[in-house]
Chains A and B, each alone.
Chain A
Amino acid sequence: MSMVAEAQLKHAVPTDQELIDFVVRETRLIDQQRFDEWLDLYADDAFYWMPLEWNQTDPRLTCSLMYEDKLLLSIRVERLKGVRTFSQKPKSRCHHVLQTPQVDSRDPAANNYVTWTPMHYIETRMDEQTLYAAWATHHLSVENGRLKIKLKRVDLINCDAAFGNIQLFM
């Protein structure tokens, strides 16, 4: 558990390796259920987006599985701790397997860095284990010498399938 959640960048502009390490650390915090530290990786105006449609472009007038700002994400994190959160009694656990994140674009002038990460995600609860395959796109920027997530987009390969509960974060 000793990993530092938010590593300080060496220079003003992050290296590719720093972007990659950041994305990998983010999923590690989820898998280790360090949700408060995880939430700190998100900028105040961040969104977490899980589209419902293949190649979806609009989060507003097309429905999504999730399109949540930091307030809603923090509500989820608080709920997971709740004594009367019955759907988390017993708790779910999750596990990510990432391909090495690819740096798709870097624009220091606009303070915008985009990575693309294919992944398998497993969520379990009691005797059930479900495997999901997805691509995560991170839009990152530097704030006070640290990377922050502006937008995390998770595209499930079967985004339009009928799912049971998905309770944690991909």
Chain B
Amino acid sequence: MPRYAGNVAAIRDLVRDQEVHRDVYVSEEVFQLEMEHMFPNSWVYVGHDSQVPNPGDYFGTTIGTQPILLVRHTDGTVKVLHNRCPHKGTRITSETCGNAGKFFRCPYHAWSFRTDGSLLAIPLKKGYENTGFEQSHAASGMAPVRHVRNYRGFVFAKINDGGLDFEEFFGESLSSFDNMIDRSPVGQLKVAGGVLRYMHNCNWKMLVENQTDTCHPMVAHESSAGTVVEVWKKAPPGTQKPMAVEIIAPFMSPYEFFENMGIRIWDNGHGHTGVHHSIHSDYSAVPGYFDKMKAAYGEERAKAILGENRHNTVYFPNIMIKGPIQLLRHFKPIAANKTLVESWTFQLVDAPDMLLERTLMYNRLINAPTSIVGHDDLEMYERAQEGLHSNGNEWVNLQRLYSPDEAGQTNVAVNGTSEWPMRHQFRAWAKFMTMGM
């Protein structure tokens, strides 16, 4: 029996100041409502425009569970289209990415569409004469997503007409994208290195929350990062610290380190850890990089750009970026208990290759299905997904460093172990779930 559909009060009741009801993670009905309301009401990440450099290039992905296409139109702009034929629903593209040429052609009955989705031709068109076809849904072609924004290469789309405009939705949080992009001497990123795809048997929000969960690394990752620290202790004195140890060992930093790193809260569920420092702060300098940055920006500005150590920036609803290492994780919902995690990496255009090499090493050591750090995390998510079926307690506690006056505050920096970002994500969740309901 549906409990939540059309019931704004019941949905709002799932989110309390200091706890959330387990149905936000386990209920298939709530999940379907997220797909119908929360995702279409939000600006959702689609892809990067370097994935579609030339006219006709496309990349297939999803917003929530809906199949969509990112396309480079003949006029050079990027479009976002629903990836379904207006005739009978057939997915239009054969590969995840490719080039359509001047138009898309459906493989079923050969209707064709311009790269903005509009209908180009139908074979044996006279069969539709005097049928009122012009008034049909099909006549307008592949439906475009109307609200699309290309922010310095990062493409976002909002399916519904209502909701907030792009600037209002993201506000000051875009500074994390700016910092990631500015780390290229020419201010440009390129998707590079391939995408890691990791299937998780848990709710997508567990992953989003975990990005600002700073009380778990030294516990859940003791098995991996702790072992790295122990094994490295046995290295002969004077051995140069390998890149891999530089990457994994900081996960074992003490609570104090994470408390002091700080967390910043922005509007609409966005926020970042690492206001002052982060696990990325102490990486070795890459030869030649600073000189290039200095030449491009001047010394002071170059230092300011590279001095940012933002750890994880969460963009509500479902991505996280790591500016210092040019990495983006996309938490793609599949079902209440199933999430595909895609971890994308970017090359800083005109910067030394070694930066990309380190980014890729980070990605495979931390975010791959073969990663020991990934194993630590997934084990916890899956145990939570299972444990939440207990009726002994229907609530998940998010109370650490709660303060009654926090709702409505924005752009504040707080203690790095606060669960404020999680409470904040759920406030945004309730807002975009019920918007227009």
A residues touching B (Cβ–Cβ < 8 Å)?
50, 52-53, 60-67, 69, 71-72, 74-76, 78-79, 82, 84-88, 160-167
Q: Is the CB of B193 within 8 A of A61?
A: yes
Closest to B96 in A: A160
Q: Is the CB of A164 within 8 A of B201?
A: yes
Q: Is the CB of A163 within 8 A of B198?
A: yes
- Measured CB to CB, the closest approach of chain B to A145, in angstroms, equals 27
- Measured CB to CB, the closest approach of chain A to B362, in angstroms, equals 10
Q: Given A62, A86, A164, A166, which contacts B193 in the complex, CB threshold below 8 Å? A: A62
Taken together as a complex, chains A and B put the C-alpha atoms of A56 and B369 apart, in Å, by 18
Task: Compute the total of residue contacts between A and B using a CB distance below 8 Å.
Answer: 102
What A residues does B369 contact at CB under 8 A? 65, 162-166
Closest to B345 in A: A63
What A residues does B236 contact at CB under 8 A? none
Q: Is the CB of A67 within 8 A of B364?
A: yes
| B276 CB–A CB distance under 8 Å | no
Q: Is the CB of B244 within 8 A of A72?
A: yes
| B52 CB–A CB distance under 8 Å | no
What B residues does A162 contact at CB under 8 A? 197-199, 340, 369
Taken together as a complex, chains A and B put the C-alpha atoms of A63 and B228 apart, in Å, by 21
- Listed from nearest, the 8 A-B pairs whose CB atoms lie closest are A162-B197, A163-B369, A87-B379, A85-B223, A87-B375, A63-B194, A63-B193, A79-B227
| B42 CB–A CB distance under 8 Å | no
What B residues does A76 contact at CB under 8 A? 372
Within 8 A of A (CB), among B351-373: 353, 356-357, 360, 363-365, 368-370, 372
What B residues does A64 contact at CB under 8 A? 364
| B326 CB–A CB distance under 8 Å | no
- Measured CB to CB, the closest approach of chain A to B325, in angstroms, equals 13
Taken together as a complex, chains A and B put the C-alpha atoms of A85 and B228 apart, in Å, by 13
| B9 CB–A CB distance under 8 Å | no
Q: Given A78-B231, A165-B374, are A63 and B222 neighbors across the interface (CB < 8 Å)? A: no
| B224 CB–A CB distance under 8 Å | yes
| B178 CB–A CB distance under 8 Å | no
What A residues does B244 contact at CB under 8 A? 69, 71-72
User: In the complex, which of the residues A69, A74, A75, A86 has the most CB atoms of chain B within 10 Å of its own CB atom?
Assistant: A75
9 cross-chain CB contacts under 8 A: A50-B370, A61-B360, A63-B364, A76-B372, A78-B227, A79-B227, A86-B220, A87-B376, A163-B370
